[in-house]
Amino acid sequence: MSVELKIVCFEDIFQYESGEKSRFSDEYRQLSAVILLDKQDMASLGVKDGDKVLVENEISKIVVAAKTTDDEPHAGLAFMINSVWSNQLLRDDLCNASVPRFKGITARVAPSQEEVTQISEIVQRLRA
């Protein structure tokens, strides 16, 4: 089972401060490699908080942790923090802008048994 979602990225002060210390730390990964989903979308996917999900579009794919939002219902709309994980879903020309277009990334989300994509793997992708 998968669902197609629009993903909007946002900034988070806690994740930013963690990244200032080390973008290779577990703390940074735990704060950054997350997708925030509506309760209805979580139910449709059959996942609960902390479960891993594959987020994939025509650009790339990543595995992140799912988390339920307490916001007003917003089925079909997900949120991710601006990070190397969310950047994987953007075209290169959008990532090179001083302020990339982090609004309305379309992607399919599905439950995954894989571990969260490690930043070392993302770095290798960028070097290729």
Q: Cα(78)–Cα(75) distance, rounded to whole angstroms?
A: 8
Q: Where does the pLDDT of residue 103 fall: very low under 50, low under 70, confident under 90, or very high at 90 and above?
A: low
| Residue for token pair 């290169």 | 92
| Ordered domains of the chain (ranges, CATH) | 3-127 (2.40.40.20)
Give the tens place of pLDDT for each residue, 3-62: 999 999 888 877 778 778 877 788 888 889 999 999 999 999 999 999 999 999 999 999
**What does the buried/exposed string (b/e) look like for 37-73 if buried means 16 or more CB atoms within 10 Å of the residue's CB?**
bbeebbebbebeeeebbbbbbeebbbbbbbbbbeeee
* Phi, psi values for residue 52, rounded to 5°: -90, 140
Q: What's the pLDDT score for residue 101?
A: 56
pTM score? 0.86
Q: Where does the pLDDT of residue 102 fall: very low under 50, low under 70, confident under 90, or very high at 90 and above?
A: low
Q: Does residue 64 register a pLDDT over 80?
A: yes
Q: pLDDT above 90 covers what percent of the chain? A: 52
